[in-house]
Structure 1
Amino acid sequence: MTRLTTSVAIYFLLVSTIAQAGVVAGGTRVVYQEGKREASISVTNADTHTPYLVQSWVENFADNDKRPVPFIVTPPLFRLDPEKRNMLRISFTGMELPHDRESVYWLNIKSILPSQKGDVNKLQVNIKSKFKIFYRPNNLSVDPSDAWQKLQFHAEGNRLTAKNPTPYFISLFSLTVGGKEVKEPGMVAPFSSHSWPVSGAGTVKWRAINDFGGITDATQQ
């Protein structure tokens, strides 16, 4: 490896490390309860020297969904100085959404490392993170803290299917069949099913992610 190549590799590594160490969100998801004035999530600049620009917006969960989104974020763009924190406030615009189940959207938070004077030949690094926003209607029939335990699994051939009979999105942290891990188990939508290819059979064990981003105990079927 040449000295130039080594220098470039080190530069990219340092810039990437700085960007990753910069803006940190105070959660992994947002639950917007129907009727609330707003929901919020904090963003903190963990860097001790570098300010960042922070841009945020909401988009539909499905890439091909071009409908207007029912949330706005304030402030949409601001400077976050080193070791400072700010709050992103998420407001509902009043769009008609299902009343019998949750709806889900993406909150995007982009941290932009500003260029310095004379840095025209240097890379500007933008880091975008995505967080789920769940719109939760009032008076749903199941306690949200119990919903993950109500998944119903069945196997057919080389596929495992989970049926979600609840009005909540259930985000799976882990899923195993006969001790074999299912990679990236994902999320099961309300009143819907999701299936995965599996090899073998046996006891199904799973853990989920709760409203606070924590991991539940394991249960099995």
Structure 2
Amino acid sequence: MRDVVAVRLRQARRLCGGLLAGLLLMPPGGAQAALAVTGTRFIYPAGTSALTVRVGNNGEAPILLQAWLDKGDMGTDPSGLAVPFVLSPPIARLEPQQRSALVVRYTGESLPGDRESVFWINFLEVPPRTTAEANVLRVAYRLRMKLLYRPAGLAGEADEAIRQVTWRLEQGPQAGGQTALLAISRAPYYVSLPQLALGEGKQVINWQGITIEPFGTTRIALPVAKKAAAQATAIHYQVAIDSGETRSGSARIQP
């Protein structure tokens, strides 16, 4: 899923190795991001020599694009990250309306063979410098998208993995005193839910960007103000599939 994140100037300098000195990252206001990325998540099947990620500049001025991968630790200095992939080029200049590509290659380090592994591709768009820019606040945008490494021979189909997820509500001391929705997966695939809803009417609880891990239990806390939703008997969701599309569905909550 695409995230536009805000970080302080100190973090920006760390993330970009000084490239963004004097640049403050902020959530978008009136300004619009020019960077376009084709896709919402990326699948890297085992045995693939390389994965191509298409990018472009939809703006009217040049931009500088920095890209790197992480394991989910989005605040870590990219120079200190160890991931089993090489992404090139790490820095590129895109002219207005230019289209280009980044190439991701697996370097062969050992990864689990019975389930997918998840990494994140970061895209940082640096805006152009304008004239008379002293003391001018510049806005940059950062997007993060999943990169899933998929071993060969996994059981079942990735697009049907949601059917191997069961749901139940957990209450009491085992939930830390707070009611939680549990998603229990028997699938070797990551399940990405852009939208998830529990309950009906005024008591409905909506979440965005939920990821369910393979062969694990994902706990999703319920807001205390909507305890009545704990009586719900079904969840409704939008699930992302390999094509980049989403499917709607629902599932019963197990007793």
TM range (shorter): 0.7 to 0.9
Partner of 1:44: 56
1:63/1:36 Cα in 2 relative to 1: closer, same or farther (>3 Å)?
A: same
1:35 is aligned, of 47, 63, 73, to 47
| Identity percentage of aligned residues | 27
Deviations 1:152-194 (A, max 9, x none): 1122333221101001111112223332234236111000001
Q: 2:191 aligns with which of 170, 194, 197?
A: 170
**Equivalent pair of 1:29/1:212 in contact (CA under 8 Å):** no
Q: Which residue of 1 aligns with 2:89?
A: 75
Amino acid at match of 1:25: V
TM-score normalised by L of structure 1:
0.84
Match of 1:190 among 205, 211, 214: 214
In structure 2, the gaps of 5 or more residues are 1-25, 172-178
1:99 CA displacement: 0.4
Runs of 4+ in 1 over 3 A off after TM superposition: 15-19, 62-67
**Aligned to 1:107, which of 111, 121, 124?**
121
- Match 2:65 to one of 54, 57, 67: 54
Cross-structure match for 2:248? 217
**2:167–2:251 Cα contact (<8 Å) kept:** no
Given candidates 142, 152, 155, the residue that maps to 1:138 is 152
What do the CA deviations read for 1:7-64 (whole angstroms, capped 9, x no partner)? Answer: xxxxxx9x854442x11111111111111011121111111x2010111111112459
Q: TM-score scaled by structure 2? A: 0.74
1:82-129 per-position Cα deviation (integer Å, ceiling 9, x unaligned): 011101111111111000000011101111112135423322322111
Q: 1:120 to 1:153 in 2, by over 3 A?
A: same
1:40 match: secondary structure = strand
Aligned to 1:5: none
Could you tell me how far apart the structure 2 residues matched to 1:160 and 1:19 are?
36
Looking at structure 2, the residues matched to 74 and 185 of structure 1 have their Cα atoms a distance apart, in angstroms, of: 27
CA RMSD of aligned residues (A): 2.2
SS at match of 1:149: helix
C-alpha contact (below 8 Å) 1:19/1:113 kept by paired residues: no
Q: For the structure 1 residues 167 and 207, does the alpha-carbon distance in structure 2 shift closer, same or farther, using more than 3 Å as the test?
A: same
Equivalenced residues, count: 206
Greater Cα offset, 209-218 or 96-105: 209-218
